[in-house]
Amino acid sequence: MIQNSPALIPLTLLATAISIPVLALKKEKFAFPIAVAASFFSVVLSFYNLARILDGARISYHFGGWIPPLGIEYVLDPLSAFIALVVNVVAFFVIWHSKGLQTAEVAEKPVPYYALTLLFLCGGNGIIITGDLFNLYVFIEIFSLAAYGLIGIGERKAPVAAFRYLIMGTVGASFYLIGVGFLYMVTGSLNMADVKAILPLIGRNPAVDVALTLMVAGIGIKMALFPLHGWLPDSYTYAPSTSSALIAPIGTKIGAYVIIRILFFVFGVSFVDKDFPIADFVAWLSAAGIIYGSVMAIAQKELKRMLAYSSVAQIGYIGLGIGMANPLGYIGAVLHILNHAFMKGSLFLVAANLRKKIGHSDIEKLDSTCLKRLPWTTAAFTVSALSMIGLPPTAGFFSKWYLALGAVDKGNWIFLAVIMASSLLNAVYFFRMLENLYLRSPKVRMSEETASPEGCDSAGAFVVPEGCYLTIPVVILSFSLLAIGLWNSAIVKGIILNIIPPGM
């Protein structure tokens, strides 16, 4: 088990994803425990992997016993172990929370839902852990196909959104595949470490430039980098809440991880920063995306749609940190992957709770009855929203702080101004929501209370228990933002400083 631990997470998830439809064929209620158990197992294993790796080791698992440049290699280094831990922890809480929602949104389909969820996680973990460029493509497709299914389960408009995402996502994955083809034609290898060693020997070659451009463009679609984000708002809005809580924190973060992997660990820092400055390009697009996403989020009236546009902006922060290609920006980007996964996970779960208990997630119609009826959810929303804005004790402040330091270090004042301005814009759209939750008197909408959603009593306050499935994961996710914020220096010193790519 100890030698095999890199391959164990994807394989366990794949095996459980396949066995759920078989085991839960007759009894649907088996689906949830199996999914939670598999997810919990992957969390434990990711902790174990990270603990083993912290001294800077690099564990390589050879599939089928073939030696790496020929065979497929799974690589466990601090970066992949860290991202795998983030992804699996958030996914565990979302799956836990999904039990409370099941009856509402994916009523007849718990079995396919959990099978797809585990397949999605299997693809994600595979992307994170693989050290082979073509294997990465296969995992991207597993991951994306599961995501299309998870989105398509949702409400009436969801299949249309999923269809659009499918067309765009396939183009993205295909672009990546062409890029891999060019790279293979030049280097003759598909192993990431091997390609990294061969590339400097080749020197400048247009095929390498084309390969890099196509790969970044392709993954940019998966990551929803600014002009390629078209699939994101509709998909997140119409997907079932629990799917969007799964895809929003994990899907785009994994895209960001692949960009980091390809830019810094395959092509190398000096190549993407100086020889062929695509990192700059990514940074400018991300800066545009931050402003665009924040402004669009202000214009939205529905909570999930607002969060979707805010995701575009937050992905921009990560892209900006990556594109600056200096240590501080990189720390900011990796820390923001962690923070944003927790923040967006928690916020989408809040939206799910509102839809389930209040019956809608329309910002205009929310009022202080929420506070009485769902005190813990409201508290969780407040903490996450403050973290999104970036108030000091919460985690969001620190990643922005590192990003700002990176911009200063690079001497690019426009990036600094973008980071500051977007914090202000974040404050605008989150305080609007907070104002409604805390201050708005409920009298305005008494007449609309006719169609009472599940668990709603005409007497109102304190009648509905929030339910442990609905509340506990949200509260843990959002309050851990405070913990991440307080111990951020430990995370940065202990983990992220180990994973700064060579030559940065």
Report the interface residues with another protein, using CB under 8 A.
134, 137-138, 141, 145, 148-149, 152, 156-157, 159-160, 162-163, 166-167, 170-171, 174, 177-178, 181, 184-185
Assigned token pair, 504: 């940065």
Tell me which residue has tokens 């402040």: 397
Residues 6+ apart with CB under 8 A from 179: 210, 211, 212, 213, 214, 215, 218
Q: Tokens at residue 243, please?
A: 């799917």
Q: How far is the CB of 160 from another protein (least distance, A)?
A: 6
Q: Which is nearer to another protein, 38 or 168 (CB)?
A: 168
Shortest distance, position 64 Cβ to another protein, whole Å: 14
Q: Report the Cα–Cα distance between both ends of the chain, in Å, rounded.
A: 35
Q: How far is the CB of 141 from another protein (least distance, A)?
A: 5
**Gyration radius of the chain over CA positions:** 22
Helix (H/G/I), strand (E/B), else coil: 361 = coil
Which of 171/492 has CB closer to another protein? 171
C-alpha span between 402 and 386 (Å, rounded): 18
CB closer to another protein out of 156 and 204: 156
Q: CB 156 → another protein: shortest distance, Å?
A: 6
Pick between residue 138 and residue 298 the one whose CB is nearest to another protein.
Answer: 138
Nearer to another protein, 159 or 327 (CB): 159
Least separation in angstroms between CB 56 and another protein:
33
Burial class of residue 64 in the structure, from the number of CB atoms within 10 Å of its CB (0-12 exposed, 13-18 middle, 19+ buried): exposed
Smallest gap from residue 152 Cβ to another protein (A): 5
Phi, psi of 206, rounded to the nearest 5 degrees: -55, -30
Q: What span, in angstroms and rounded, lies between the C-alpha atoms of 207 and 156? A: 44
Alpha carbon 356 to chain centroid, angstroms:
23
In whole angstroms, the minimum distance from the beta carbon of 138 to another protein comes to 6
Token pair listed for 28: 């649907």
Q: How far is the CB of 102 from another protein (least distance, A)?
A: 20
Measured from the CB atom, is 141 or 449 closer to another protein?
A: 141
Q: Which is nearer to another protein, 171 or 416 (CB)?
A: 171
Please give the single-letter amino acid code of residue 374. Answer: L
The total of other beta-carbon atoms located within 10 Å of residue 66's CB is 11
Listed residue (142, 91, 87) closest to 114, CA to CA: 91
Q: Which is nearer to another protein, 27 or 156 (CB)?
A: 156
Q: Specify the residue, 192 or 418, whose C-beta has the smaller distance to another protein.
A: 192
Tokens 């692949």 — which residue?
258
**By C-alpha distance, which of 168, 197, 336, 325 is closest to 260?**
325
Q: How far is the C-alpha of 485 from the C-alpha of 306, rounded, in Å?
A: 24
Quote the least distance from Cβ 180 to another protein, whole Å.
9
CB 94 within 8 A of CB 345: yes
